[in-house]
Amino acid sequence: MIEGLLVSLFVFVLAVLLGFEVISKVPPILHTPLMSGSNAISGIVLIGALVVVVRSDSVIGDSLGIGAVALATINVVGGFMVTDRMLQLFRRGPDRPSQ
Amino acid sequence: MTLINVVNLAYLLAAVLFIIGLKRLSSPATARSGNRMGATGMLIAVVVTLLDREVLDYTQIAGGVIVGAIVGATLARTIKMTAMPQMVAIFNGLGGGASALVASGEFHKLTSDAADVGTDVGVTIMLGTFIGAVTFSGSFIAFGKLQDIVTGRAISSPIIKTLNPILFLTALGLGGFMVVLLAEGSASMSEVMPLFLALVVVSLALGILLVMPIGGADMPVVIALLNSYSGLAAAAAGFVLDNMVLIISGSLVGASGFILTRIMCIAMNRSIWNVMFGAFGAQATGPDQAGAEGRQAQSTTAEDSSIVLAYAKSVIFVPGYGLAAAQAQHQVKELADLLQSKGVEVRHAIHPVAGRMPGHMNVLLAEADVPYDQLFAMEDINDDFDRTDVAVVVGANDVTNPVSRDVPDSPIYGMPILNVDRARNIIFIKRSLSPGFAGIDNPLFYNPKTRMYFADARRALTDLVNAIKEL
């Protein structure tokens, strides 16, 4: 089991470093969509919520799981949709910038 | 190939889609497809999860999903772009809440099965519950402050300052104690459950008290930080369930929020420690230092300004939150278009804290149809002010204040500012000479190159457009 946790820790640390690398290249102009979009991605906890519901064999477990499913779904659906709505606002001008 | 391998490969695919999707956010041209890749990754992960487990009864899950989807979609469609910070604050909170519920669900399952709970699993459950609950309650306070339900003032209270470490240590103690009890396998559910509920309550209280003292002007930092927490909470839930896609996605978001927090702190010249515990607004010195006496601000009219603008070769607009508050984005766009049609080079200089969350002003201007190649980040445009004929400041103040360069004992000393004072002419649209958020007088008002245009932003811009048309 300790091996399992160690593997998880490796993945965690590497993913954080990868995140720094990828996200520091996002320009300030897109920081708001970045926040709402990454927020939608953190709604991945929906997977965890589904697992909890499926494994549950009690009313309390069911309620906790269903509650988590609902909250995470708001996060996922709302997050991706609002990000899309924002991103479609960004348009390039008719003529190229004269630097 | 067994089913479990297929599932994990699908999770891997989802994680790859998230990473490439985020990478495509590095340019406005590819960002939209990147967001869709992320959404596709999510869909794959969810579908595969539902297929994998022998789900006996979809109705319960469907109920949660349908309710969540309707609420999420309605919010996403109807929210105003000016209210985006509130929206992100709520979503952060919901993500944190979901993570806390997942950890609680797993805790309930393990204790009611009287299973052997290893120290590692115990620690991750406590951590997931703690981070999730703090994010949940903290985000709702942040929402309340942005929405003006909760006071936006910075509160500096010695009670909160002593209470916070006590709550933190209590949470740590409760969590640690439960981990030990669970590992010994001697605890029954009825014994541990009150302790667990206490941990939840303490964590929720800590979230409230951490955000409560922070002033409205610091909300961009707080939202970014809570964004980071919501990611870490998801990652913690991943540790609990030993699920890689949760860990990867959660840590990506954690990293993203952390980077934004740092950018905001640098832009505001504050350390994160200072934001969390400093109560900035409360200590701001009055506008009386250096005194305004003896210096005369020169005011201007639409007619005079219109001549300066129309015969300029280059103009930079400096929009601040006051612009959005006056709903004047469309007027700026109209004025910019008019000037461009007269051959003036028009650009917009966006300070990192120009809105109420990172990047907010860009979204507001994009909504008014300002093309993104006219939007420039501070570091990309700051050297160009020297060669610019006119800088027009609309609804911004502190981010143009040269005091931050020149006066070492000013509270905003060291804060990076837009070099508006280096432009050949400055038009400052503002209702009065009152100081900004930081409560500090702005010497730029009295600069011989500056003309103060005293009016509401929207009114002033409309009058300028009309005056230029009449030239």
Structure tokens at B377: 């980040």
Q: Where are the alpha helices (DSSP H) in B243-359?
A: 244-268, 272-277, 280-283, 302-310, 321-325, 329-341
- What span, in angstroms and rounded, lies between the C-alpha atoms of A41 and A78? 11
For residue B35, the chain A residues in CB contact (below 8 A) are 33, 37, 80, 83-84, 87
Give the pLDDT of residue B293: 53
| Contact between B18 and A26 (Cβ < 8 Å) | no
- Sheet containing B425-430: order of strands: B375-377, B345-350, B314-319, B390-394, B425-430, B450-454
Burial annotation B189-205 (CB, 10 A radius, 16+ → b, else e): eeebbeebeebbebbbb
pLDDT in tens, A5-15: 889 999 999 99
Helix (H, G, I), strand (E, B) or coil at A37: helix
Contacts of A35 (CB under 8 A, 6+ apart): B88, B223, B224, B227, B256, B257, B260, B357, B358, B359
Q: Which among B248, B253, B260 has CB closest to A11?
A: B248
Catalytic (active site) residue B398: yes
Of residues B218, B398, B421, B441, which has the active-site annotation? B398
Q: Which among A47, A63, A88 is the top mutation candidate for probing chain B, defined by the most B β-carbons within 10 Å of its own β-carbon?
A: A47
CB B236 within 8 A of CB B128: yes
Do residues B96 and B233 make contact, with C-beta atoms less than 8 angstroms apart? yes
Global pTM?
Answer: 0.89
- The span from the CA of B401 to the CA of B388, in Å, is 18
Strand partners, B315: B346, B390
| Chain A positions in Cβ-Cβ contact with residue B388 (cut-off 8 Å) | none
- Which of A8, A31, A98 best probes binding to B when mutated, by most B CB atoms within 10 angstroms? A31
Query: Quick check: A15 and B21 CB within 8 A?
Result: no
Count residue pairs from A and B with Cβ separation < 8 A. Answer: 381
User: What distance in Å separates the CA atoms of residue B440 and residue A84, rounded to the nearest whole number?
Assistant: 39
* Backbone dihedral angles phi then psi of residue A88, each to the nearest 5 degrees: -75, -10
Distance in angstroms (rounded) separating the CA atoms of residues B248 and B254: 10
B257 chain-A contacts, CB cut-off 8 A? 35, 38
Mean pLDDT, range A80-88, rounded to an integer: 96
Nearest to B420 by CA among B445, B454, B457, B440: B445
A8 contact B CB<8A = yes
Mean pLDDT, consecutive 10-residue segments, chain B of 471 residues? 83 96 95 97 93 72 93 95 93 96 93 80 93 96 88 75 89 93 76 92 95 83 93 94 94 95 87 69 43 72 92 94 85 94 94 88 92 93 94 90 86 88 94 77 90 91 93 83
